[in-house]
Structure 1
Amino acid sequence: MDSPSDSDADHGADKWDRETRGENRAQQLDRNLSGLLQELRVVQTGVQLLTGFLLTLPFQNRFTMLSATMRWVYLGTVAASIAATVLLTGPVAAHRVLFRRHRLASVVRAAHHSALAGLALLGVAVTGVAVLIFDTVAGPLAATLAGAATAALFLLVWVVHPLYQRLTERVGETEQ
């Protein structure tokens, strides 16, 4: 069940879509699903390539040179990448399974949550890749710095900046 703030935001979006776009609820859901699937197409290829690349690493000669710690980092990175692959492709499977079942609202809601979780895990996987590469090439200190910088960049671009935009948007709305 949605929280009151989610529900209020949804009703505000519904009202805006009706008044500004002239959309009914079904049209809004169709547009939302279409937009979400388009966004997922962009990241699906990348996360699948990343996962495939990671799955080949243990079969490379230099893999045996990884320390025990870096092997655990590798396993965590692979797990995050596999989970991101599942979560970012899941909405397509859900849409296919629920196609023509009049469940579009639940498909859009679940796809939205799956995409957010998948993106978070993709950020973890890419951060892990940065740590592995920097550790192999330049050592543990460089790996730590690269991992921290990569994680900070993901948090800044994918979390802080969008949340800042939401906050400033709300402040601007209350002033009008």
Structure 2
Amino acid sequence: MNDELKPMSTPFTKLKLEELGRVDVETFREQEKLQVTVVLDNVRSMHNIGSVFRTADGFAVEQIILCGITAQPPHREIEKTALGATQSINWTYFNGIKEALQHLRNQGYQVIAVEQAENSINLNQFQPKNNQKYALIFGNEVNGVSEEAMEMVDGCIEIPQFGTKHSFNIVVSAGIVLWDFFAKLNFK
């Protein structure tokens, strides 16, 4: 199959909602999931939290763990961007990140920070394994992943950046990393 883009003799027509093959919440809960748990470490913005829920739904991740000051559903500001994904994605709240990470470790997860750090691995060089469960930590919008969490991680992934800011919004980071994991694990 040739994947090159070619001019079409007929225009592209957007799909209608009923043509998207969307599943209901019950079917989603029963379907196979990407063996990834998203951990939000002191994320301040409820819009960011809602958007991460929606992104996690899009890639069918196992669950989201909310820690510290990260707000919890149900909340109107979270729902503005989650668009109902708080109903489809399983989530849990922990007061502290250490308790959350220990819980994940006890369940066999490899705990990985998504952060700019010494000895981090560029995302494009990291190859997730099919039979491994991963917990991906995304940090606070200003301070990133907490030092408490960094002391407990098994590894650190960094998204290569080439501009002047070297800073993506947490939702953009989650989208990039989750797509990368999904693609590497499902499209080999």
**TM-score normalised by L of structure 1:** 0.25
Higher RCO (CA 8 Å, separation ≥ 6 residues): 2
Which protein has the bigger strand share? Answer: 2
Q: Which has the higher helix share?
A: 1
